[in-house]
Structure 1
Amino acid sequence: MFRRREPVPFAFLAEANRFRSNVAPPPRRRSSAGRIAGQWLLGLTIVAGLVGAVIIGTPALSTPSSTPAQQSQASQGH
């Protein structure tokens, strides 16, 4: 970064990029056991729902291979 040769009227604005605060944020509160268990249960429910949807939806997405053979046998019988 380049430095200006002329003096800056507001020096604190020129140094604002390098400013570091000495105020620390407050410490995070620890989650209770019930909240942690609730988060795990929610995550497990979502994952189980997605897995169940894939398992139930897989047969609907697959193409049946035995159906054309049965139709051709029925057409030969007539």
Structure 2
Amino acid sequence: MSRRGEPVPFAFVADADRFRSNVEPPPRERATAGELAGRALLTLVVVAGLVGSLLLAWPALDVRLDEQGQRQEAVQER
């Protein structure tokens, strides 16, 4: 394989690392009132769902140690 006879300009390679484009991306579009209302409504629905599921599951999460102790005593007496 033959190599190119031209030397590589190392100054150009060093400048390439520091190069910054002068082209700016377009500014972000602002959300419309409808989009903001939709996001707020979606957030409200998600939070309400989490709270509702917690309220519905609350009885199942309630552990009553007194009733369990009485049940175990009744089983042991038999």
TM-score, normalised on structure 2? 0.65
Structure with more helix by fraction: 2
Equivalences, count: 71
Displaced runs of 4 or more, over 2 A: 7-14, 68-73
Unaligned residue ranges in structure 2 (runs of 5+): 1-6
Shift of 1:38: 0.2
**Identity level (%):** 51
Q: Which gives a bigger RCO, structure 1 or 2 (Cα 8 Å, sep 6+)?
A: 1
Structure 1 runs not aligned, ≥5 long: 1-6
Question: TM-score, structure 1 length as denominator?
Answer: 0.65
**TM-aligned CA deviation for residue 11 of structure 1:** 3.4
Q: What is the CA RMSD across the aligned residues, in angstroms?
A: 2.8
Structure-2 change in CA distance of 1:9 and 1:48 (3 Å): same
Residue 18 of structure 1 and its aligned partner are, at CA, apart by 1.0
